[in-house]
Amino acid sequence: MADQIVLRHVTKKFTTKTLGDIVAVDDFNLSVSEGECFSFLGPSGCGKSTTLRMIAGFEDLTEGEIELCGRIVSSKKKNLYVPPEERGLGMVFQAFAVWPHMNVFENVAFPLRIQKMNKSDIDRRVAEALKHTSLTGLEKTFPSDLSGGQQQRIALARAIVTNPKVMLLDEPLSNLDPKLRETMRFEIKELQRRFGFTIIFVTHDQAEAMAISDRMMVCDMGRIVQIDTPENLYNKPCNRFVHNFLGESTFVNVLVKDGKVYAKGDERQALSLTAPKSAAAEMVVATRPNEIALTGPTEDGYQTHIEKRIFLTDRTEYLVPVGEQIVKVQTPHRVAFAEGEACCVRFVEPMWYPVEDAAAEKERSRRQLV
Ligand code: ATP
């Protein structure tokens, strides 16, 4: 598949009065293939929306260039900038962004009127877009008389009516309740299957991104941290940040001494783990709460007890002291322990990460303040 969206060394700096310079997007390089659904994911302030706005043409670049469908649309070096309406994109941005003073037909026809398309072509194209978004019959209705889901469909219909090759979706489902979000997610994928456009999807919601994406990019503090399939990002996160960001995580601070591994705060009882050769004296062992083996006290593992038992609908959660930390373990309901009962925990093939740098946490919160 050909690359349809290419970012080369794309950088965006903002200067703010209160907090100084922010590199919102720092040297982004990425290629998205034709027909791919690619998500930008990361905490607030990591640079997702700024990147999307640069692709759309609403934001200039500080450095680098952007290519869409084989054409350079933004380039600092070449002093080139194609305005948004000439980039051939479909867009659904945060909030519904439908025009309240226009009826459904006019909302959807708007991009075609800008292109000065003739009336019969407009009628045909709008009818088609409404059909694919289940809005036929509502042409004369105003958005305020429609449900949240229907309003969102108007925004989708308006985005597909120009037959774009690339669709930019920025938190398009954020105003909808969870059930409707799921339905709309399917509808977006169905539209993509039918029309074959490439999607860039920006969201805070990692489960949503995982469900919809072929590949995802996780960013942190203006940098790309990892680009991969949802499965690989979940199973092989490249660092602690990505591990923590996708799905539930359990982290245990450990000390590596004379080939043995101890939970911090308890050097009397080693964990049954072998540290990787490259391990420093202090490390973090990471796993998923449902991948920790919880067994009776006589079996192999770290001897401890159940501090707390929490019944969740589809599983049971136990809080278990390991050294000076309390570790979260999740099991099927049939693994039943009582509070105070002795038990063993064993970490099965965990990931190993260096101890987190405190400066990174500080920088993350600074970015959210700007
Ligand atoms: P969110 O999920 O909250 O939308 P985001 O990941 O989309 O966050 P951006 O909106 O791209 O993040 O912002 C990246 C950084 O750039 C943040 O620190 C933000 O405060 C800063 N920023 C964004 N736009 C501007 C601007 N116009 N002027 C100054 N700083 C800005």
Q: In whole angstroms, how far apart are CA 122 and each of 119, 125, 150? A: 5, 5, 21
Using the mean position of ligand 1's atoms as its centre, give its distance from the Cα of residue 358 in Å: 22
Do 181 and 314 share a domain, yes or no?
Answer: no
pLDDT value for 368: 63
Mutate which of 7, 14, 205, 220 for ligand 1? The one with the most ligand atoms within 8 Å of its CB, which is 14
Q: In whole angstroms, how far apart are CA 100 and each of 5, 113, 142, 148? A: 32, 18, 7, 13
Do 93 and 220 share a domain, yes or no?
Answer: yes
The 10s digit of each residue's pLDDT in 5-17 is: 999 999 999 988 8
**Contact call for residues 27 and 350 (beta carbons, < 8 A):** no
Do 102 and 217 share a domain, yes or no?
Answer: yes
Q: Which residue has the tokens 């998923």?
A: 288
Query: Which residue's CA is the nearest one to ligand 1's atom 27?
Result: 14
360 located within any domain: no
Using the mean position of ligand 1's atoms as its centre, give its distance from the Cα of residue 226 in Å: 20
The 10s digit of each residue's pLDDT in 42-88 is: 988 899 999 999 999 999 999 999 999 999 999 999 999 999 888 98
275 located within any domain: yes
Do 57 and 41 share a domain, yes or no?
Answer: yes
DSSP at 105 = H
Do 173 and 286 share a domain, yes or no?
Answer: no
Do 198 and 216 share a domain, yes or no?
Answer: yes
Do 11 and 132 share a domain, yes or no?
Answer: yes
Query: Which residue's CA is the nearest one to ligand 1's atom 3?
Result: 44
367 located within any domain: no
Do 287 and 219 share a domain, yes or no?
Answer: no
363 located within any domain: no
Which tokens is 259 given? Answer: 């080939």
Mutate which of 40, 221, 224, 370 for ligand 1? The one with the most ligand atoms within 8 Å of its CB, which is 370
Do 46 and 145 share a domain, yes or no?
Answer: yes
Do 236 and 253 share a domain, yes or no?
Answer: no
The 10s digit of each residue's pLDDT in 141-187 is: 998 898 888 888 898 899 889 889 999 998 877 777 787 788 878 88
Residue scoring higher pLDDT (179 or 196): 196
Q: How many domains does the chain have?
A: 2
Query: Which residue's CA is the nearest one to ligand 1's atom 17?
Result: 45
Write the CATH number for 179.
3.40.50.300
**Of 240, 269, 302, which marks where a domain is finished?**
240
Q: Indicate whether residue 109 lines ligand 1 (CB < 6 A).
A: no
Mutate which of 13, 21, 50, 54 for ligand 1? The one with the most ligand atoms within 8 Å of its CB, which is 50
370 located within any domain: no
9: left (phi over 0), alpha (psi -120 to 50) or beta: left
Q: Is the pLDDT of residue 361 over 70?
A: no
Q: Which atom of ligand 1 is found nearest the CA of 367?
A: 18
Do 195 and 342 share a domain, yes or no?
Answer: no
**Of 202, 221, 240, which marks where a domain is finished?**
240
Write the CATH number for 317.
2.40.50.140
Domain that residue 322 falls in? 248-353
Rounded to whole angstroms, the Cα distance separating 257 from 261 reads 6
Do 95 and 211 share a domain, yes or no?
Answer: yes
Q: Is the pLDDT of residue 95 over 60?
A: no
Rounded to whole angstroms, the Cα distance separating 98 from 303 reads 59
The gap from C-alpha 348 to its chain's centroid, in whole angstroms, comes to 27
